[in-house]
Amino acid sequence: MGYHQFAEGELLYKNNLSAPEDIDDWKVEGEMIARFKKNTLFLKNKLDPAIHGDKSHWVFWCPIDFPDNIMIQWEFCPIAEPGLCMMFFAATGRKGEDIFDQSLPNRTGLYPQYHSGAINALHLSYFRHKQAEERAFRTCNLRKSFGFHLVAHGADPLPPVTDVIEPYHMKVVKYDEIVQFSINELPILEWEDDGQKFGPVYKGGKIGIRQMAPMEAAYSNFTVHRAVSIKEAKGRVSSV
């Protein structure tokens, strides 16, 4: 079965990630270093993983609550490894709260707080070069949490840092029950949530970036558009 096709609709959010003021309202959980070079945001851990272990990882949240049916795009360039890069989306409290609601427990970047804590989210790990077994057989993994459920994976085309030439164009589509991921327009995975096996289909919510130390990576041109289903759009036109 072929992949569903989507097009960019209305622009909901655009952030070039090119200067400090671009991330003034973003929220970090854990300790992170942000620097800018050539109009690009470089992110890495502040704490030494040799000393602090898993406490050296962090999550960086865009402050906007996004609706369902969106297309998330950004430019990504791995700078230093080993490490792991991930994106959270459709993130809410488990009772529908905003993830920054004061009633929710404090989060500090420790992964269990995000996959088995007080929030629901979809999370995509797309540069898994931390553990030896991850580097030996590279995949992109999509999980649904609460519960850390591995729901889909696909082959990861990204090379080691030493072979990177230029940034990669990353795209995530979240459209009703469909989640789709591509790199440089190459389809990597697609999953349809039945809304039963792992709970109801998630809708809107927050988007966040996660890195596992000692990873350093660069980000730019972060946009969120409404996703338009080409099949549905053609159906509406043909019925007129």
Q: In the chain, where are the structural domains located?
A: 6-13+65-203+225-233
- Cβ atoms of 104 and 154 within 8 Å: the answer is no
Strand partners, 131: none
Q: Which H helix or E strand runs over 238?
A: helix 230-238
Q: Which H helix or E strand runs over 236?
A: helix 230-238
- Spatial distance between the Cα atoms of 37 and 19, rounded to a whole number of angstroms: 9
pLDDT tens, position by position, 166-200? 999 999 999 999 999 999 999 999 999 999 999 99
- Cβ atoms of 218 and 79 within 8 Å: the answer is yes
Q: Which H helix or E strand runs over 51?
A: helix 49-52
Q: Which residues of the chain have pLDDT under 70?
A: 1, 233-240
Residue with tokens 């709260």: 97
32-37/40-45 β-pairing: antiparallel
Residue 240: predicted pLDDT:
43
- Spatial distance between the Cα atoms of 44 and 161, rounded to a whole number of angstroms: 15
Q: What phi and psi, each to the nearest 5 degrees, are found at residue 223?
A: -135, 150
Q: Which H helix or E strand runs over 14?
A: strand 6-15
pTM score > 0.85 for this model? Answer: yes
Q: Which fold has domain 6-13+65-203+225-233?
A: Jelly Rolls (2.60.120)
Residue 139: predicted pLDDT:
97
Residue 235: predicted pLDDT:
57
- Cβ atoms of 153 and 105 within 8 Å: the answer is no
- Spatial distance between the Cα atoms of 2 and 224, rounded to a whole number of angstroms: 24
Q: Which H helix or E strand runs over 92?
A: strand 83-93
pLDDT tens, position by position, 201-223? 999 999 999 999 999 999 999 99
83 Cβ contact partners less than 8 Å away, ≥ 6 residues apart? 127, 129, 130, 211, 212, 213, 214, 215, 216, 217
